[in-house]
Amino acid sequence: MEYLPNIIFAVALIAGIGFFVRNVKKLTRNIKLGRDVDVSDNKAQRWKNMAKIALGQTKMVVRPIAGIMHVIVYVGFIIINIEVLEIILDGLFGTHRLFSPLGPVYDLLIGSFEILALLVIVAVVVFWIRRNIIRIQRFIKPEMKGWPKTDGNMILYIEFVLMVLFLTMNAADFQLQQLGAEHYKQAGAFPVSQFIVPLLDGLSESSLILVERTAWWLHILGILAFLNYLYYSKHLHILLAFPNTYYGKIKPQGQFNNLESVTKEVKLMMDPDADPYAAPAEDSTAEPEKFGASDVMDLNWVQLLNAYTCTECGRCTAECPANQTGKKLSPRKIMMDTRDRLEEVGKIMDANKGEFFSDGKQLLNDYITPEELWACTTCNACVQACPVSIDPLSIIVEMRRYLVMEQSAAPTELNNMMSNIENNGAPWPYNQMDRLNWVNE
Amino acid sequence: MSEQLKVKTMQEFMAEGKQPEILFWVGSAGSFDDRAKKISRAFVKLLNKADVDFAVLGTEESSTGDVAKRAGNEFLFQMQAMMNIEVLNGYEIKRIVTCDPHSFNTLKNEYPSLGGNYDVVHHTQYLKELIDNGRLTITGDGYKGKRITFHDPCYLGRANSVFDAPRELLAKTNAELVEMKRHKKTALCCGAGGAQMFKEPEKGDMDVNVLRTKGALETNPNIIATGCPYCNTMMTDGIKAHEKEDSVTVLDVAEVLANSQGL
């Protein structure tokens, strides 16, 4: 019976991590549903981007209040993992404050964790106020109703509770240390939790132990639960921001890719020696490639990774000229829709032993309407605004390509413009022979 | 007819067995749009003043296909691109200058993988180069005391990180430069990009160009300068929407420079 807590702990740990690994596998499978894209170039630049944008948070601080608060929560998250490591080892081996022999270093560590925990609590409260009381514009857009709103708040509640548990645990521990309770050796500095101690006044040693153990268990179980909540939440960005910034666009923002499948056909069309009656190419049994995207499988895997990385902060939408002038387009919604649809496709595959059967739905129309797509000015403001290198514009362009090349469904005026280019080499109905008239006007 | 411009075509250069220093890619707007034609003329006046040996393609030029590409018509884009590349490569063009950021972006970034490799610069970059090399001198205080705000074209600024050249040129006229709240990387679009120029906007509360012009007017300018024919149209319409056409003028950077020299 002596080892029961250790065993329970080990089981919880394995279950927590096991479930997480299972979800990560599902995540990888879903992302790999996307088309392949070569992102093996410019490794040095990519590492630099990741270091600067994800690790260094350079694009977060563009908006200083949210940025600095975010840096606090982020640093708190990273540093507190050292504490979590101690908790895990203590839990497995039945030790208490295993790292305490570090002496003054340990005091410094625990002390700084406490201060960070307090700062995180402050930041989380500020975030909550911004979302729920000040109701900052970008948090109350139409796409932020229901689950996205709940999810945003839920994360704040969990972080708040985890930090309070951490400080309560320390306060009880500190009190036990002063009472000279067995097992609770003198260790650590408690610059914040010492102020909680008076609340525990008058509790017996056994009650204090109960408080300390309860807080300890809830804290670590909470962390394991939070780890598994990630997959179901926009909070996945804490992991995916890193690969996402690594694989993010490194070309000039204005440069769109040239579709290779189109290049092949255009070359054939323009080749005067091509035999129009020639037998189709050798791999004619292969399904002809679709131009553009109507569903998530037509997008490339970096675009799908983008969708899972999006944390719905709405900075893209706040900067979008179409959205600012009341049009339906919201780049954030494009990303959320892509993720929702991808999750739906994943669920169909789960239900069918990994195979996908059409459910009669697709990303286009069922999630994203042509009206949204045609409102985009391709100005790249959304791409510029994203703190984690997401490119909503590339998805919009792929879907326009599908509308135009597969469905001939461009707005009439654009069809006129395009036939002018075809016939006159200009988007207006002027004669190419008049191209030099401006010189003499 | 106004003052005679010296403009030679590639064909003429070819006939003389010579190569020009640069090719001026006029673009569809610069060739056909009445307002944008004035920008082409202003730029050529500066080229003439600096005695630059430049050529245009004239009737051999065709749409870059940029707008078709942004609209999603990759087929049409690549057909245009390949036809243009054939012409450009046929003349062994090395360096291209254009007043249209959309042509600039696509020639510079999207033509190479289709076989068109050129050194492409925007006219503001090229004019700055001429001044730095001492070939073009900007003198006088014609714009002293005037407030100019520069509207960054998305495809020049954010898309290709050209922010300084147009500003440095405007500073040469001794005008007072004022920045809008949203400028450089966070500039607001004029509303014409992504093929919007050629269609009615989707339903909303306001048109993008009206919002952008509002931002420009907040700086209390005499002149809104820009470096794109489409931005020019959108901002001019915006000025009209705000009923400021009597007090505020929209000019291309090349026009500001040419005017300042009485060209």
The domain that contains B22 carries what CATH number? 3.40.50
Which chain A residues contact residue B58 at CB under 8 A? Answer: 435-436
> For chain A, which ranges sit under pLDDT 70?
1, 276-288
SS3 A211: helix
Give CA separation, A189 vs A86, A103, A183, A194, in Å: 16, 10, 17, 9
Examine the domain organization and report whether B147 and B256 are in the same domain: yes
Six token digits for residue B81: 């691109």
In a domain, B255, yes or no: yes
pTM metric for this prediction: 0.94
pLDDT band at B213 (very low <50, low <70, confident <90, very high): very high
**Per-residue pLDDT tens digits for A291-315:** 999 999 999 999 999 999 999 999 9
User: What was the pLDDT predicted at B142?
Assistant: 84
Residue B124 to residue B97: CA distance in whole angstroms: 9
Same domain, B228 and B200: yes
Looking at residue A288, its pLDDT comes to 67
Rg (CA), chain B: 18
Facing A435 at nearest CB: one of B31, B69, B212: B31
Q: Do the Cβ atoms of A381 and B186 come within 8 Å? A: yes
Of A371, A401, A422, the CB nearest to B72: A401
Nearest to A215 by CA among A174, A180, A156: A174
Class of residue A204 by CB neighbours under 10 A (exposed 0-12, middle 13-18, buried 19+): exposed
Least Cα separation, residue B26 to chain A (angstroms): 9
pLDDT at B127 exceeding the cut of 60: yes
Most A CBs within 10 Å, among B8, B11, B74, to test the A interface:
B74
The answer to whether B44 faces chain A, any CB pair under 8 Å, is yes
**Can you tell me the mean pLDDT for B139-152?**
93
Domain assignment present for residue B1? The answer is no
What residue of B is the nearest CA neighbor of A430?
A: B32
% of chain B with per-residue pLDDT over 90:
97
Give yes or no: residues B148 and B251 share one domain.
Answer: yes
Interchain contact, B114 vs A421, CB within 8 Å: no
Boundary of a domain, candidates B97, B131, B165: B131
Residues in contact with A137: Cβ distance below 8 Å, sequence separation at least 6, in sequence order: A318
Q: Which of residues 168-187 of B touch A (CB under 8 A)?
A: 185-186
Q: Average model confidence (pLDDT) for chain B?
A: 96
Establish if B254 belongs to a structural domain. yes
B48 lies in some domain: yes
What is the arithmetic mean of pLDDT over B145-150? 96
CB A307 within 8 A of CB A234: no
Q: How far is CA B41 from CA A159, A292, B24, in A?
A: 63, 40, 12
In angstroms, what separates the C-alpha of A391 from chain B's closest C-alpha?
Answer: 13
On whether both B83 and B51 belong to a single domain, the answer is yes
Contacts of B171 (CB under 8 A, 6+ apart): B177
Whole-angstrom distance, CA of residue A117 vs CA of residue A295: 43
Cα–Cα nearest to B238, from B199, B193, B204, B190: B190
Are B195 and A414 inside 8 Å of each other by CB? Answer: yes
Domain range for residue B155? 138-261
Q: Does B12 touch chain A (CB under 8 A)?
A: no
Same domain, B127 and B142: no
Nearest residue on chain B to A426, alpha-carbon basis: B63
* ipTM field: 0.96
Q: Is position B247 within any domain?
A: yes
pLDDT at position B129 is: 98
Interface of B with A in 134-153 (CB under 8 A): none
| Domain identity same for B148 and B71 | no
Closest CA to A256 of B111, B81, B110: B110
Q: How many residues are recorded in chain A?
A: 441
Same domain, B126 and B64: yes
In this model, does residue B47 exceed pLDDT 60?
yes
- B176-178 sheet: strands from edge to edge: B176-178, B147-151, B223-226, B249-252
Are B163 and B202 found together in one domain?
A: yes
B120 pLDDT more than 80: yes
Both B127 and B15 in one domain: the answer is yes
**C-alpha span between A10 and A23 (Å, rounded):** 20
Q: For chain B, how many structural domains are there in total?
A: 2
Does A428 sit within 8 Å of B193, measured CB to CB? no
User: Would residue B69 count as lying in a domain?
Assistant: yes
B82:A436 CB<8 A: no
User: Hunting for tokens 């014409």 — which residue is that?
Assistant: B192
Asked whether residue B54 falls in the same domain as residue B104, the answer is yes
Residues B181 and B250 in one domain: yes
Could you tell me if residue B2 is inside a domain? Answer: no
* Closest chain A C-alpha to B140 CA, distance in angstroms: 27
Q: What percentage of chain B carries pLDDT values higher than 70?
A: 99
Q: What is the pLDDT of residue B1?
A: 44
Task: Report pLDDT for A183.
Answer: 86
Closest CA–CA distance from residue B145 to any residue of chain A (Å): 32
**Which of residues B131, B148, B168 is at a domain's end?**
B131
The answer to whether the CB atoms of A439 and B211 lie below 8 A apart is no
User: Where does a domain end: B131, B146, B176?
Assistant: B131
Q: Are residues B55 and B93 in the same domain?
A: yes
Give chain B positions within 8 Å (CB) of A435: 26, 31-32, 58-59, 61
